[in-house]
Amino acid sequence: MRVVGEIPHSQCKITVFAWNNRYLIKLEQGLLEQTFKVNQYDVIDEAELYRIVDEPFVEAALKRFDEMSESLRQAMQRA
């Protein structure tokens, strides 16, 4: 797996990888992570990946992190 680059953001770590004819866009916040796989042939070049990760994309992911955290908290309370 090759690191293509990082996208700076104040609320999460965003790393772009290349692996097995796919790009992986990985967002991390604390102990949670989200990974999006993009077929290498679906983008023109690696620069397009940085355009995909725009503010609406990141805002949706941050909301999902909140939902994931709440889901885990509830599950742990039931256990």
Query: How confident is the model at residue 79, as a pLDDT?
Result: 87
Task: Tally the domains of the chain.
Answer: 1
Query: How confident is the model at residue 74, as a pLDDT?
Result: 98
**Torsion angles phi and psi, residue 45, rounded to 5:** -160, 175
Query: How confident is the model at residue 15, as a pLDDT?
Result: 98
3-state secondary structure 18-65: EECCEEEEEEEECCEEEEEEEEHHHCCCHHHHHHHCCHHHHHHHHHHH
Global pTM value: 0.92
Query: How confident is the model at residue 11, as a pLDDT?
Result: 97
Residues 6 or more apart whose Cβ sits within 8 Å of residue 50: 5, 7, 16
Q: Which domain covers residue 72, as residue numbers? A: 2-78
Along the chain (79 residues), what's the average pLDDT of each consecutive run of 10 residues?
A: 96 97 97 97 93 97 98 95
